[in-house]
Amino acid sequence: MNDKSWQSAVSGIQAENISIGDINQSIINSSNARYNHIGVIISEHNKNTVRLERSFRDKSRANQKNMYKELQNCLKNLHQQVEVYQEEIEEHEKEISRIDKIGGYVINKQIEDDGGIFNKDNLFENIKDAAIPGFSAYIFQGAKKQKREKEAELEEAKQDVRELKYLIPLVEGFLRMDSLELDIDQILDNESLAKLSSCVREDIESIKDSYRSQQSDLEDSYEEELDRYRMERNISVYREELQYCVDEDSYPLSPSKMRFLEARLRGFNLGQGDVESIAEEIIRPLAVENLEKYEVAYQNELHQDNFPPSDNSVKTLQEFKENLGLDAFGFLQLAAKSIEENLVRPFYQTNFQEYQKNYREKLEEKGLALGTEDVTQLDAIQTRLGLKTFVFPDFDVRKAEQELIELVYQENIQKFEREYKQKLAQEGFPLSSNTVNELIHLEKIFV
């Protein structure tokens, strides 16, 4: 099969641009064994996706049911609260009746004693005119106040019950629609919750928040798993396609095969790093001989041209490396780079030492404060010696320069100190003006 017909045969396999069913069918219909393998990969991906979607639906419905159950529990608690309020109101009524009886007894007693100055039908409304102990009246009024408060709370609870009895069936009706997504804010919005008491409204908002949080976590988990399945599928398909290219061309691959593989990476939304281990596993055994050829060629160029290689040698080696396919994959680029560094290292070390010598001479000649022209000359020496071509951690140019500056500085201090002592020994103290000026000049050079 030539490149053109082969690419035509696989043009239908575009990662997300056509349906998985179309990909699956085009592969299954193919008589090529390689694409039957891809068909198995796609089929397994489909199964995983179906299982994932089923799991997501089940968990999503479970979240919806839990939320619905919490709403029902809220309504149940309200019913229980209504019963409690009703019982408390009955107790208050009993207390009021008991106090009323006690008050009636006291009034009747005072009527008998005082000639009936009290109106029994308006007993506690005219409490100030009654010679009833103030404590009994206080208890009576307190009991009536508590009863009124409980009646208000009861009415509020009954209102909440009526509202929830209306809202909960709306949620239940939505659940019956078997929707994968439940927009709880659409059903239980601010307007629908406005008639609820603040306490119950807070409970409902808490139920909504809990549902949204659970659903958000579930959706994030679903997307992560789906992305992982897609990545695994795409990498597996790429592996088969890479293996097929190698089987067709051996190595290095033809330009058309490389363009196809690069297009597949883009279509699958993969980077070289995602498939590097696969490429190394398949291609490295085939590239060993080419790596050896490149090592011999690079060594020959170094011996003929020394280091650093000339521009022509660099161009020739680069073309040879490309022809051997050593720049096509990251692991091969690293392998070729390692060959270059191992061969260059001895030459680089020699040139590095030469640069150290040049730098020291410049410091001793011009002093520690080098001028712009001196820096430019040293930079040109680095280029000529090839120190900018490679980077070796143990041959750090900047570090070496700093160490030389510190070394020369210490040496200059010692030189200046010896010169100063010598002048003192010759002339004594104080030194002459000429000697002082001479020492100042030396200080500027040395320090």
Q: Quick one: average pLDDT of 45-73? A: 88
In a domain, 158, yes or no: yes
Domain boundary residue among 230, 245, 270?
A: 270
Distances (CA, A) of 17 to 25, 101, 171, 350, 357: 15, 88, 38, 57, 63
**Per-residue pLDDT for 131 more than 70?**
no
For 185-210, what is each residue's pLDDT tens digit? 777 777 777 777 788 788 888 888 89
33-114 helix and 20-28 helix, angle to the nearest 10 degrees: 150
Residue 275 lies in a domain: no
Same domain, 71 and 139: yes
Nearest by Cα to 34 from 281, 250, 244: 244
257 and 310 together in one domain? no
Which of 391, 407, 429 lies at the terminal end of a domain, its last residue? Answer: 391
> Is the four-CA dihedral 49, 54, 59, 63 of positive or negative sign?
positive
Query: What is the per-residue pLDDT for 293?
Result: 97
Residue 3 has pLDDT above 60, yes or no: no
Same domain, 144 and 236: yes
Across the chain, mean pLDDT equals 80
| % the chain with pLDDT above 70 | 76
Higher pLDDT, 433 or 318: 318
pLDDT beyond 80 at 140: no
Using pLDDT thresholds of 50, 70 and 90, give the confidence band for residue 312.
very high
Same domain, residue pair 176 and 31: yes
Q: How confident is the model at residue 294 (pLDDT cuts 50, 70, 90)?
A: very high
> Can you give the pLDDT at residue 92?
66
**pLDDT interval class at 431 (50, 70, 90):** confident
pLDDT digit string (tens) for 322-381? 999 999 999 999 999 999 999 999 999 999 999 999 999 998 888 888 889 999 999 999
Residue 248 lies in a domain: yes
Statement to judge: residues 257 and 325 lie in one domain: no
Shared domain for 52 and 67, answered yes or no, is yes
Find the mean pLDDT for residues 295-324.
Answer: 92
Residue 358: per-residue pLDDT: 95
Q: Is 279 domain-assigned?
A: no
Q: Phi and psi for 283 in degrees, rounded to 5? A: -95, -35
Helices 397-427 and 330-366 meet at what angle, rounded to 10?
10
Q: How far apart are the first and last CA of the chain?
A: 77
pLDDT reading at 301 higher than 70: yes
Q: Which amino acid is at 144?
A: K
- What is the mean pLDDT of the segment spanning 374-398? 94
Residue 307 burial (CB count, 10 A):
19
Contact (CB, 8 A) for 163 and 196: yes
The domain tally of the chain equals 3
375 and 242 co-located in one domain: no
Q: Measured between alpha carbons, how far is 227 from 204 in angstroms, rounded to an integer?
A: 35
Q: Pick the residue with more confidence: 1 or 333?
A: 333
Q: Answer with the one of 391, 406, 426 that is the final residue of a domain.
A: 391
410 or 112, greater pLDDT: 410
Split at pLDDT 50, 70, 90, the class of 401 is very high
Residue 183 has pLDDT above 50, yes or no: yes
Confidence at residue 74, expressed as pLDDT on a 0 to 100 scale: 78
Q: How far apart are CA 49 and CA 51, in angstroms?
A: 5
* In contact, 75 and 165? CB cutoff 8 Å: yes
Distances in Å between the Cα of 52 and the Cα atoms of 23, 45, 182, 333 are: 20, 10, 19, 39
How many Cβ atoms are within 10 Å of 284's Cβ, its own excluded? Answer: 15
pTM: 0.62
User: Is there a domain that residue 235 lies in?
Assistant: yes
Is 51 within a domain? yes
Is 372 domain-assigned? yes
Q: Which domain holds residue 244?
A: 1-270
Are 400 and 387 in the same domain?
no
289 and 266 in a single domain? The answer is no
H-only helix segments in 181-324: 184-187, 190-193, 198-249, 255-267, 272-305, 311-323
* 332 and 426 fall within a common domain: no
User: How far apart, in Å, are the Cα atoms of 60 and each of 180, 207, 210, 224, 417?
Assistant: 7, 15, 13, 16, 85
Instruction: Retrieve residue 235's tokens.
Output: 């990498």
Q: Is residue 276 part of a domain?
A: no
Domain check: are 109 and 225 in the same one? Answer: yes
